[in-house]
Amino acid sequence: MSMLDSVWSLLAFLTTDARTSYPWPLCWGNALWAYVAFKQDAAKLKPASQPSAMFGIFGSFVLYTMPANFCANFVCFARTPSALTNTTIIPVHLACCFLIGWVPGCAAFLGMAIPYAVVDSLGVLDNATTGMNYMEEALALSGSPVLAILAGMAVNLGGGLLRHFAMRGYVVTLTLALALALALALALAPALALTLALALALALALALALALTLTRRARRPSTSACERPCSTPSPRARCTIGPRSSRAPATTSASVPRGSTRSCHGLPSR
């Protein structure tokens, strides 16, 4: 086999073969990019708002790894997302979370320019092939070009919209919206009972992880500016004693006449 044939075989493996299967480079590349991108976006938040590791596992799966799968299947096809039923997607995601989160040097290596560009390119290719597959399937099922376009838009815009609102503090809102959408889908299609159970469990796990994170942040002792030790000593109070009448001569502290007033500079007033 010549080099040109090898190149064509590789391109076919990453593109046309993705119509009937999920090539492992796309699966692993997308999962690696997702958790690295999640960690990078989380690092931009304030320390008190950064998510915990538990939330990262669930949140990165919904917001980075498989948002296209969730949005297209829920919105356009009203069916159980294949990301929840596939036998390889969730284990690969968990493995990538473990590698990036707990293996020393893995996150730093994947965060470099060239490795990140490689996994990012595989994630983009996975997104493009998934979008074309859903567009073809939507057109074959319904014969409607509008649904086919909506399926492609759900794949390409769903993740960006979810991440936009989630990174700005609307995680609980997204969870409630997901539960409402699933309830409506269940009312329209009773066969989605499994979808409802799985998605609600995932939504509750997200909400629980967020609540645990906020509770842990709130319990940490905060040191305000007035409680911090100051190395510069405060100036000593300077007290002047004088009678109520401004015309009378000043007296010393040893002999303070009755009816005189004391004004202190440097002491806090009550």
Instruction: Quick: pLDDT tens for 143-158.
Output: 888 888 888 888 888 8
| Residue ranges of E strands in the chain | 238-242, 261-265
Q: With a cut of 50, say whether residue 268 has pLDDT above it.
A: no
Q: What average pLDDT does this structure show over 127-145? A: 90
Give me the pLDDT at residue 5, please.
72
Residue 199 has what pLDDT? 57
For the entire predicted model, the pTM comes to: 0.63
Query: Which residue stretches of 103-144 are H helix?
Result: 106-110, 113-142
Per the CB < 8 A criterion, the answer to whether 76 and 138 are in contact is: yes
pLDDT digits (tens, 9 = 90+) for 201-222: 565 566 656 666 666 666 665 5
Among the listed residues 142, 1, 28, 129, the one whose alpha carbon sits nearest the alpha carbon of residue 69: 129
Crossing angle (nearest 10°) for helices 193-219 and 171-188:
170
Give the three-state DSSP class for 241.
strand
Q: Give me the residue label for tokens 């965060």.
A: 111
Output the pLDDT for position 261. 44
What's the pLDDT band for 177 if we cut at 50, 70, 90? low
pLDDT (tens digit per residue) in 9-61 = 878 777 877 888 889 999 999 999 999 999 998 888 888 777 888 888 888 89
